[in-house]
């Protein structure tokens, strides 16, 4: 697996409605990783428009505030 860059979670934006962290991708879209994925130990955010991936650098306590703000409810996704 080839990682484009490493990004601190503090540099990412958190969407409380979708419960995802995003970061701008050079292709013009955004890297995305869900709060649940991070809580499960994943640390790779992917861009849905290209093949680039970034490694998210964080400590578990970095996720505590986001987890309490969002109440961790399932989000319906339509395809």
Q: What confidence tens digit (pLDDT) does each residue in 68-78 have?
A: 665 555 556 66
Model pTM score: 0.81
The pLDDT of residue 28 is 97
The pLDDT of residue 1 is 74
Can you spell out the DSSP letters for 18-72?
TTEEEEE-TTSSEEEEEHHHHHTT--EEE-SSSS-EEEEE--HHHHHHHHHHHTT
Residue boundaries of the structural domains of the chain: 5-61
Q: Which CATH number fits domain 5-61: 3.30.750.24, 3.40.50.150, 3.30.750.200, 3.10.660.10?
A: 3.10.660.10
The pLDDT of residue 65 is 73
Q: Which residues of the chain have pLDDT under 50?
A: none
């Amino acid at each position: 697996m080839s990682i484009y860059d490493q990004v601190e979670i503090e540099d990412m934006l958190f969407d409380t409605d979708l419960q995802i962290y995003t970061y701008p991708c050079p292709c013009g879209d955004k890297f995305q990783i869900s709060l649940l994925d991070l809580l499960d130990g994943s640390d790779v955010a992917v861009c849905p428009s290209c093949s680039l991936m970034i490694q998210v650098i964080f400590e578990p306590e970095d996720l505590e505030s986001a987890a309490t703000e969002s109440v961790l409810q399932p989000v319906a996704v339509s395809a």
